Structure 1
């Protein structure tokens, strides 16, 4: 009982600190984020923040991972609503992500900081983004295995990797309206999942 209580308290504390960091990054950018400021905003000591996260980098990674988990919930809802077709589901899921990313205060702060020359937080979406990619890939692979069992394992793996990496690429560097980009990404994903010789009629 005591162990479960301590775990719950620590989880609440972590969320409190991340909420404070999120608000600071959204308002002032990643470059202005500091452990002392986060601690003050969260109503805890600076040592408490250090004990929980250790470094500013760890806070950045935790922020990006938390947003990715929230995005996964929205994606799952879109996939469920379009389960009859892999391409339709992919279009809906990617459209949701690209629209949500465009309106997300943290993502906006990441992009603004990068355009100003500070690409540190952006690396958690790109070159150092493996935890985010791993979370998204595992979720989508499990979903696709259940929803579209006719897709062989290799094609499914390639399709999932393609949709995750292409979507992140379009978040970082939008090339068209979310709906247009999503339709294109979904078409690529469907062609990988269903090579011409096994595409459902």
Structure 2
């Protein structure tokens, strides 16, 4: 049993090192230059270990994006945990912190700016083929929002969450203002829908 557990831990460790190495190489030289052989050298494992741990190159790309997205989920959860009694404050902090993190995320910037030519093949994982990421974010936010008292039908709440998450993601991909300004705007929209703009004004005074 101990040997089986050790083998499982080694596999997890190898996968983490491989994904981290893929992120480093993508940020440094572009996704088009990330080959399985080079990745194996960077991670300090064999090429077979790379294939066993992450599968195909397409699987690796998805694993990279989902791994990086975990950092954003952490910020979202933190925003809600810091304001258990104030939904609007929680939304504001979650959105602002997420956008601040996006500004400094090297992989996201490399993908969005597409400065490395063929790196544009990663864009669908963040846009048209982003269902896994979007679905995870929606579940995380829904779970947190359910802890608040909201005078709105459940299906309407889900609709507000969907619109809010999609709007925040669009600003992650293409920011048009500072994180604070965008968080202000998104929070204001949510407050308007919930009929709680008075609470928003009070929190700003």
TM (norm. structure 1) is: 0.89
Counterpart of 1:120 in 2: which secondary structure?
A: helix
Counterpart of 2:127 in 1: which secondary structure?
A: coil
Counterpart of 2:120 in 1: which secondary structure?
A: coil
CA contact (8 A) 1:30 1:109 kept: no
1:92 Cα deviation after fit: 1.0
Corresponding residue of 2:183: 182
TM-align CA RMSD: 2.1
Unaligned runs of 5+ in 2: 200-205
1:149 Cα deviation after fit: 5.1
CA contact (8 A) 1:78 1:92 kept: yes
1:117 Cα deviation after fit: 6.5
1:31 Cα deviation after fit: 2.1
Corresponding residue of 2:94: 93
Corresponding residue of 1:4: 5
TM (norm. structure 2) is: 0.87
CA contact (8 A) 2:22 2:34 kept: yes
Give, in whole Å, the separation in 2 of the partners of 1:94 and 1:114: 26
Establish whether residue 124 from structure 1 lines up as the match of residue 125 from structure 2. yes
Give, in whole Å, the separation in 2 of the partners of 1:148 and 1:121: 39
Unaligned runs of 5+ in 1: none
Corresponding residue of 2:135: 134
CA contact (8 A) 2:66 2:133 kept: yes
Corresponding residue of 1:78: 79
1:179 Cα deviation after fit: 1.0
**Number of residue pairs aligned between Structure 1 and Structure 2:** 198
Corresponding residue of 2:164: 163
Q: Alpha carbons of 1:95 and 1:36: their partners in 2 closer, same or farther (altered >3 Å)?
A: same
> What's the CA shift string for 1:147-193, capped at 9, x where partnerless?
3354431122112211211111111111111111111122223334x
1:39 Cα deviation after fit: 0.7
> What's the CA shift string for 1:14-59, capped at 9, x where partnerless?
1010111111111112222221111110011112111222222211
